[in-house]
Structure 1
Amino acid sequence: MSWLVVLIVFLLASIKSTKNPSVSVVIPAFNEEATVAQVVTVARKLSYISEVIVVDDGSTDKTVEEAERAGATVISHKGNQGKGVAIKTGFKNSHGDIVAFIDADVSNFTPTKIDKIIKPILEGKTDITKTKFARESGRVTELTAKPLLSFFFPELNYEQPLSGQFAGKRSALNKIKFEKDYGVDVGIVLDADVHGISILEVDIGDIQHDMSSLADLNKMANEVVRTIIDRAVDYGRVTMMDTLGNYIRMAIMGLSLIILGLFMIFFVPFIPLVISVLVALVGIALTIAYIIKIVQRSIPILRKGDTSTALKSFVKMHFPVIVSGLILILMLSTFLSAATFNDGRISVELTSRNFVYSPSDDYHQTISVRGPYTIDSAIENETDMVRIPPDALSTLEMSANDTMIIDGEYYSVNTSREGEVDVFRLSKAVRHDLDLYPREVIPNSRLAEVFNGVIVNHNINFNNSSEVMEGYVQFSISPKATNATFFNLTLDNESLLSSVGNFKNDSYYTIAYDDDILCAFTGDDIKKGNVTFEYAGKDGMIVFEDRNNTSIRNFIDSDRDSFVKLYTL
């Protein structure tokens, strides 16, 4: 028994799915008392038409009475608003799955003619139909519409693009922008083409309607021209003179500014870095914004039925951007081939200078252009000193007046001499220990590798402390930056010093004050929280924070020495 119920359900579903769609006919009318009733009567003779709506566009004659007498539903405008508005009103108030629009002034309409308009849609052959027919006067079509359409929309090939009769599925017509005036006919054709809606031109034979006056023809021509030009602008067919052309020019400007900014960063050192970076950033913003707009405008073109024609139009329209983009890609490939990405730090180094971006570096320049550096001999009487360029000190996370311990020997750190911006001056012993030779060029990205394992006594600034003391933080240089920990040392809630570096989990670390151990802790203690201690009746604390820092500093563990040493002056 259950199988019988299931069978009945499927049969009912099948019957419902094969139900013919409902059809509405909309007839815009203005002072058409002589013919409107005949048109309504003919439309109602087709059994599948479920409603006939006449939209009276402010008629001053008996159009309303004649339409109602013939059995139409009448919707009236208070004044004459234009054919397009009347069509839109009828469409909004209709209920059919398919809506047909026919003129009210055609005196020889027959059911066969109207059936030819609607039948292809009912049979699933197309989404929209438009008509073609013999007419005595076609000056607006031949002298205005066709030449403009051939120029801006060459893929369209309709004999009568301005025919007043058409029909369409409601789902398709919902995507159409209805013009308010006589531009509505051609506007529907162009919108349907852009949205990829299929249109079929059907021949309904000869029709007879009132001849328009020269004044009306002039008005119609102006409205058709406006509609075609508006659509040509909106859909990117007026290449370098329309909205899309402006987007193309702005995108080209953006690409040019990127190239200019990058060129200044790497090859024009006398221009301030901030200006070069600003130029490049403005270029990036312009390029992204207008390429997005270009893509948005270009998508409808690429959706045309003839893909090869659309692609040719696209390439021709965007050729300057394509060429500029290829140039920029070639240039960027040079930069990217020399780029390194390490723990949040982006380093790009060419043969001239090295661009470094550190988004979360609290102690060094966030953006700078560094290196390359040249190795030279120490000058006379400076064999116990190393001279390091300021940019290199930032890369090595050091400062002038620090001390470097290389192979057990102590060397004071100073900046390069005036006029030697990117020159290292190192003694023969230092060069030997670091495996360097005079005139060797070192990229900025290799500095940490070159000084790997060197111990640095980094002097501490106590300007903000009431304690009169001196001291330093000890660390060894690592060849690679890793995630680091920030710490702040306080006594009686007064900050003495703060720094950032790397602690090993299984190692002990001590802080010495006048050669006494102030406190000790392990790398694992950092994970547990702050470390507290007491010294000379004062409450001390070390506050550890994860600030997403990276660092090449490895703090010295207690097996070698205290990583912080403080002394009272």
Structure 2
Amino acid sequence: MLPEVETWLRDRSFSASDWSLPRLHELKGSTTVSVVLPARDESATVGEIVRVIRRELAGLVDQVVVIDSRSTDDTAAVAARAGAEVHAQDEILPSLKPLDGKGEALWKSLAVTHGDLIVFIDADLRDFRSSFVSGLLGPLLADPRVHYVKGHYDRPLGNAPTGGGRVTELVARPLLNLHWPLLSGFMQPLAGEYAGRRSVLERVPFVTGYGVELGLLVDLLELSGLDALAQVDLGSRAHSHQSTEALGGMAAQIMLAAWSRLDRQGKALMLEEPSVRLTQFHRSASGHRVVDRDVSIAERPPMITITR
């Protein structure tokens, strides 16, 4: 791991329990907060998430917005009954040709929210806790130098407490370690729970598909620098899991998002030597243990060229 990433991990890694609600209310002052839930066919979970936010974070959160991304169920009605401000994705900025994907919903939310700070929360979370929101707000309210905060958590899969996040471990983490090693300290780079300052989020592009999270990390690193980014331990996250086929599509979009940034940064032709270190994390009783692996490869020449 790079020395500057080790320093960042020490200075910019937090836990949701670091800030009590009274302390956050004190820090908030005149700052306004919007929470955004992009949702497509999430009627089973979106209502409870909205109710918890409105009930437990009243006074801290000023606006709860659900962007309905062409749901075929009653997601919009359920969210509205729970107290959310609901907008149909395609009705926002109607002069623009509609595009598909989660990133489109997130980008369009910037046009219908008014908060100085914007918190993005996936709408498929089960057993949702308000600390998912308050934890992300902590670093932003406490330190004006922090521009963007990612959540991280254990992701259960079946009977395995940390079996989720397959695309993270197989695609996103290797990409970041290879090409943007300064971002290797993020434990959940594809987490759907994150928050940022409007003044910064409005200055970067949003990938319209599932590459939005990786794209934002890379672009915000370029715009603001590593010290402006932070992460918060939110505990454990329970949600529905995608099929392997769906994960393949997500992985492809993430790789495309990475490629577009490599191209823009002049790295597409591999003129720069990529990092060969892969940073991973193991949770222990005392916290997270960093595990560095050498993932360098070698090539054998064609066998026909070998003298035997």
- TM-score > 0.5 by shorter chain: yes
Partner of 2:84: 72
> Which residues in structure 2 correspond to 1:117-266 (within 5 Å)?
117-124=136-143, 126-135=146-155, 136=157, 137-157=164-184, 158-197=186-225, 198-238=228-268
Going from structure 1 to structure 2, the CA distance change for 1:101 and 1:167 (only over 3 Å counts) comes to: same
Partner of 1:89: 108
Specify the SS of the correspondent of 2:191: coil
Percentage of pairs with the same residue:
36
- Structure 2 residue 68 is the aligned partner of structure 1 residue 32: no
Higher normalized contact order (CA 8 Å, seq sep 6+, divided by chain length) = 2
Specify the SS of the correspondent of 1:204: strand
Structure 1 residue 104: deviation in Å?
0.2
Structure 1 residue 239: deviation in Å?
5.2
Partner of 1:98: 117
8 Å contact kept, 2:171–2:251: yes
8 Å contact kept, 2:89–2:108: no
The count of corresponding residues between Structure 1 and Structure 2 is: 226
- Structure 2 residue 75 is the aligned partner of structure 1 residue 56: no
Structure 1 residue 80: deviation in Å?
8.0
Deviations 1:126-176 (A, max 9, x none): 111001111132211111111111111112121111001110011111122
Taking the aligned partners of 1:141 and 1:152, their CA distance within structure 2 comes to: 15
8 Å contact kept, 1:101–1:167: yes
Structure 1 residue 229: deviation in Å?
1.4
> Which residues in structure 2 correspond to 1:269-280 (within 5 Å)?
none
TM-score by length of 2: 0.70
Taking the aligned partners of 1:103 and 1:146, their CA distance within structure 2 comes to: 20
> Which residues in structure 2 correspond to 1:272-421 (within 5 Å)?
none
Match of 2:53 among 43, 53, 59: 43
8 Å contact kept, 1:58–1:80: no
Taking the aligned partners of 1:122 and 1:195, their CA distance within structure 2 comes to: 20
Taking the aligned partners of 2:171 and 2:129, their CA distance within structure 1 comes to: 30
Structure 1 residue 238: deviation in Å?
3.5
Structure 1 residue 240: deviation in Å?
5.2
Taking the aligned partners of 2:175 and 2:76, their CA distance within structure 1 comes to: 37
* Counterpart amino acid of residue 181 in structure 2: P
Taking the aligned partners of 1:160 and 1:131, their CA distance within structure 2 comes to: 7
Taking the aligned partners of 1:112 and 1:132, their CA distance within structure 2 comes to: 12
Taking the aligned partners of 1:146 and 1:240, their CA distance within structure 2 comes to: 18
Taking the aligned partners of 1:21 and 1:237, their CA distance within structure 2 comes to: 39
* Counterpart amino acid of residue 263 in structure 2: V
8 Å contact kept, 1:23–1:49: yes
Bigger mean CA offset, 86-95 vs 27-36:
86-95
8 Å contact kept, 2:99–2:208: no
- Structure 2 residue 144 is the aligned partner of structure 1 residue 116: no
* Counterpart amino acid of residue 76 in structure 1: A
Partner of 1:272: none
* Counterpart amino acid of residue 42 in structure 2: E
Partner of 1:282: none
Taking the aligned partners of 1:112 and 1:164, their CA distance within structure 2 comes to: 15
> Which residues in structure 2 correspond to 1:459-474 (within 5 Å)?
none
Specify the SS of the correspondent of 2:83: coil
Structure 1 residue 74: deviation in Å?
0.5
> Which residues in structure 2 correspond to 1:468-547 (within 5 Å)?
none
Structure showing greater radius of gyration is 1
Structure 1 residue 211: deviation in Å?
0.8
Deviations 1:301-346 (A, max 9, x none): xxxxxxxxxxxxxxxxxxxxxxxxxxxxxxxxxxxxxxxxxxxxxx
Provide structure 2 residue ranges, at least 5 long, that are not aligned to the other structure. 1-27, 91-97, 158-163, 273-308
8 Å contact kept, 1:57–1:80: no
Taking the aligned partners of 1:201 and 1:170, their CA distance within structure 2 comes to: 18
Deviations 1:31-59 (A, max 9, x none): 00000001111222212111000000000
* Counterpart amino acid of residue 259 in structure 2: I
Taking the aligned partners of 2:35 and 2:224, their CA distance within structure 1 comes to: 24
RMSD: 1.9
Displaced runs of 4 or more, over 4 A: 239-242
Whose strand proportion is higher, 1 or 2? 1
Taking the aligned partners of 2:109 and 2:220, their CA distance within structure 1 comes to: 19
